[in-house]
Structure 1
Amino acid sequence: MQVCVLGAGVVGLTSAYYLAKKGFEVTVLDRQPSVALETSFANAGQISPGYSAPWAAPGIPLKAIKWLMQKHAPLKISPEPEMKKLLWMGKMLSQCTEGAYNINKSRMMALAEYSRDQFIGLRKELGIQYDDGQGGTLQLFRKDEQVEAAAKDIKVLRALNVPHQMLTPEQVVVAEPGLASVIDKFKGGLKLIGDETGDCYLFCQSLKAECEALGVQFQFNTDIQSLSVEAGKVRGVFTQHGLQAFDTVLVSLGSYSKELLKACDIDIPVYPVKGYSLTVPITNDAYAPVSTVMDETYKVAVTRLGNRIRAAGTAELAGYNLDLPKSRTETISHVVEDLFGQGCQLSDAEYWTGLRPMTPDGTPVVGATEVNGLYLNTGHGTLGWTMSCGSAAVIADIMAGNNTEVDSTDLAVARY
């Protein structure tokens, strides 16, 4: 069966790999000249199943109001009126109940844990290297109330048997010696032992070669214009070269999936949430992170990638704007300077921005649609790298007509 995968980011690429492994004839289309050149290019570097949680949570509406008044805030909302943005925010706010949060977090963590297991298996099978590390994630708490609030998340972690440790400031320094000189700035931490790190771009470069070895065809510099649907069945994809016929189409276009599907009367509540990152060489290993440190106050992740530091954060609701103003990178720069400033020279940092495809409930959209032969694997938000292998394995099983290894009942667009 001929399958067309739309999108060559980490989600589309892993989907192509798992589909090819099942014997599908796979073609990947992307507008960029190679793989992983948009949202997957310079993300936080975290494979963090233990930190997989929806942004929509009890207390978030009040926190959001406070954040908007702060200089170094994890949330920014552009002042321009936009109906899509307002509608998405309304749907997200409706998910900020305790019941919805528990359901969404459990669903997300189950998929993310499965994905981490798939990563381990794939790494062993292929032997690919991507500045990967298995040092876990350390959620850093600067305030006593953050330590107390972590108790709710720990209940979910225990229920799902996710390995974790609550750490005192002294234990935090044992885990991350580079924080020793700033021990007075935090109250403790939560160590998520099973989390991993890695450079998503390097991973995708290696996986592309593995895909090609399996017969996957790549068509880059291809403008995906619309889907061809007749009598409720997908027939192919229109590009600048005309109609290309396919038996089955998988949409993995991240934030750009929504507009493509709109013409097919499929409405997925995905909004582009803009994020920022910096990458800087390590100059003093004694003051650099060992793995990932997630600063809970600023929602900024600082990750060790080989001899580099990658820091990423900030959620900005600004549509498809890809401007990179200095004012928007100040928060991630502040966190790196505050925690690991002696380990790098920030004047040498390279900055980047990308659009995360967020759903209101935090869970990606993975599964079939009402259009025969049309499938989705999109809407992973900040967790595309974390959930990529798992959601790819799930969609490959669904498309092959197999039972999935993780519950996929509520992952499809039908849940909306």
Structure 2
Amino acid sequence: MRMHIAVLGAGVVGTTTAWYLRQAGHEVTVLERQSGAGQETSFANGGQISVSHAEPWANPAAPRKILKWLFQDDAPLLFRLRADPRQWLWGLRFLRECSAARTRHNIIQIVNLGTYSRDRLQALRAETGIQYDQREQGILHFYTNPQEFEAALGPAELMREFGCQRDVISAREAVALEPALGCFESRIAGATFTRHDESGDAGMFTRNLAALAAEKGVDFRYGTTVLGLNRSGDRIEGARIIEQGRHSVLKADAFVLSLGSYSEALARPLGVNLNIYPAKGYSITVPVDDESQAHEVSLTDDEYKLVYSRLGNRLRVAGMAELSGYSRDLSLHRCKAIVARASALFPKAGRWDEAEFWTGLRPATPSNVPYIGRSGLRNLYLNTGHGTLGWTHSCGSAAALADIVDGQTPAVDFAFSGK
């Protein structure tokens, strides 16, 4: 049955949701407060389509690391403790997710969704010819800390068991795959390689897909802020919006919540409880300086939790997670820490003194598993809480949600919401 569906948010997740719903034959309106698609968390992320990045932050080793990092300003994962009950509740649930059994469960969910999503992205690319500085050369995880490498072997084996072919390789094999690593081969304790992973500019993809979706009839209403949703019984009757200074209510048959870190606040008054907290991430983007020294394969520096992507003639390095509320203030110290690590590893690859700094709020759940599916209200659907993997999971999440809206069973084994 054809419906009018309002998608709240035009990040990579909201935009792909709009695309797949339109492909399913629905009338789609997208409400976005920014002047265009992909202007917030999707704008300058790490760029990886990383099924292999499936080990959640919450794992048995995490509590000890977090304690060590608590007062380290450039720590990969930093809790800036606040008088915020939601942060503390999120943290308590995070600790619960650190058990071995929960970690295994969450890895399986993330791998299954990631593999399906990568397949959907490839199919969309073949169908549309969309361009976004994409590379299909895999992702190489390298380790300069022997303990970190040993700790990665178990999760890598579990990922292989569930279809993500993450191969364990030596330092020499890593350098053969990516010669740019040769300058510090002696420091590499080991590596893993996932041949079928990809990379690309998520912001460019989102903008280009929004343009394609608009050509197909999706109505993108930019500069429109969603103030709240009107509930009547077990249904949403409309979205309260402000557009060009005018307040109104947008009516639709169904609504999809894809507002990233802001989803929780919009859902809470409706009685829909989402355990999402913003995790501020950082990235730098620099021009390539020496082509012969710049990496071609997308890389993950697991000790420092940084990812490196080649986006045309640019290098993107991203990482770190800071749980400090909704502030988007940019920490120069943390950005410079990324520059210091990247320039130490690849000193001639980029013009590091020209780095562009960026920060964004990732919508993190304690398990790193997103909310996809029904909300408990009949016509409100969820596609949010993807944390660091919004780009990786966007096409699969959107395709699955379109199936759910149409009463069909998605072709992926995943714990969907509202089942």
User: Match for 1:177 among 153, 176, 179?
Assistant: 179
Distance 1:258 1:12 in 2: 15
- Please name the residue that 1:354 is paired with: 360
Is structure 2 residue 298 aligned with structure 1 residue 296?
Answer: no
For the residue of structure 2 that corresponds to 1:341, the secondary structure is coil
- Cα displacement string for residues 232-266 of structure 1 (whole angstroms, at most 9, x for unaligned residues): 11111001231111110000000000000011011
Any conservation in 1 of the 2:156–2:167 contact (CA below 8 Å)? no
User: Match for 2:44 among 35, 42, 45?
Assistant: 42
Distance 1:370 1:377 in 2: 13
User: Match for 2:138 among 136, 139, 147?
Assistant: 136
- Cα displacement string for residues 263-314 of structure 1 (whole angstroms, at most 9, x for unaligned residues): 1011100000000000000000121111211111110111111111000011
Any conservation in 2 of the 1:254–1:378 contact (CA below 8 Å)? yes
User: Match for 1:251 among 250, 253, 257?
Assistant: 257
- Please name the residue that 2:66 is paired with: 64
- Cα displacement string for residues 91-129 of structure 1 (whole angstroms, at most 9, x for unaligned residues): 001000000000010011100100000011001110111
Distance 1:77 1:14 in 2: 31
Is structure 2 residue 416 aligned with structure 1 residue 411?
Answer: yes
Residue identity in the other structure for 2:144: R
- Cα displacement string for residues 353-408 of structure 1 (whole angstroms, at most 9, x for unaligned residues): 00000011110000011111000000000000000000000000000111111124
Unaligned runs of 5+ in 1: none
State the Cα distance separating 1:79 from its structure 2 match.
4.1
Distance 2:379 2:72 in 1: 47
- Cα displacement string for residues 180-234 of structure 1 (whole angstroms, at most 9, x for unaligned residues): 1122222121111111000011111211121112110011101100001112111
- Please name the residue that 1:268 is paired with: 274
State the Cα distance separating 1:67 from its structure 2 match.
2.3
Distance 1:24 1:77 in 2: 42
For the residue of structure 1 that corresponds to 2:292, the secondary structure is helix
State the Cα distance separating 1:172 from its structure 2 match.
1.2
User: Match for 1:381 among 379, 383, 387?
Assistant: 387
Distance change >3 Å, CA 31–CA 171, structure 1 → 2: same
Is structure 2 residue 327 aligned with structure 1 residue 321?
Answer: yes
- Please name the residue that 1:222 is paired with: 224
Distance 1:78 1:151 in 2: 30
For the residue of structure 2 that corresponds to 1:26, the secondary structure is strand
Unaligned runs of 5+ in 2: none
- Please name the residue that 2:82 is paired with: 80
State the Cα distance separating 1:71 from its structure 2 match.
5.5
- Please name the residue that 1:400 is paired with: 406
State the Cα distance separating 1:77 from its structure 2 match.
2.2
Distance 1:295 1:251 in 2: 33
- Cα displacement string for residues 117-164 of structure 1 (whole angstroms, at most 9, x for unaligned residues): 001100111011100001111111112222222221122122113223
Residue identity in the other structure for 1:311: V
- Please name the residue that 2:56 is paired with: 54
**RMSD, aligned CA:** 1.2
Any conservation in 1 of the 2:73–2:334 contact (CA below 8 Å)? no
Distance 2:391 2:117 in 1: 9
User: Match for 2:8 among 6, 11, 15?
Assistant: 6
- Please name the residue that 1:99 is paired with: 101
Residue identity in the other structure for 1:22: A
Distance 1:169 1:338 in 2: 18
Is structure 2 residue 239 aligned with structure 1 residue 231?
Answer: no
Distance 1:313 1:57 in 2: 18
Any conservation in 2 of the 1:294–1:301 contact (CA below 8 Å)? yes
Please, what TM-score do these two structures have when normalized by structure 2?
0.96
For the residue of structure 1 that corresponds to 2:353, the secondary structure is helix
Which deviates more from structure 2 when the two are superposed, residues 192-201 or residues 332-341? 332-341
State percent identity of aligned pairs. Answer: 40
Please, what TM-score do these two structures have when normalized by structure 1?
0.97
Distance 2:155 2:166 in 1: 11
Distance 1:401 1:180 in 2: 52
Distance 1:22 1:319 in 2: 37
For the residue of structure 2 that corresponds to 1:125, the secondary structure is helix
Distance change >3 Å, CA 227–CA 71, structure 1 → 2: closer
Distance 2:287 2:397 in 1: 32
State the Cα distance separating 1:345 from its structure 2 match.
1.5
Is structure 2 residue 23 aligned with structure 1 residue 21?
Answer: yes
For the residue of structure 1 that corresponds to 2:300, the secondary structure is strand
The number of aligned residues is 413
Distance 1:331 1:57 in 2: 25
State the Cα distance separating 1:37 from its structure 2 match.
0.2
State the Cα distance separating 1:69 from its structure 2 match.
4.7
For the residue of structure 2 that corresponds to 1:284, the secondary structure is coil
Distance change >3 Å, CA 70–CA 226, structure 1 → 2: closer
Distance 1:362 1:371 in 2: 23
For the residue of structure 2 that corresponds to 1:110, the secondary structure is helix
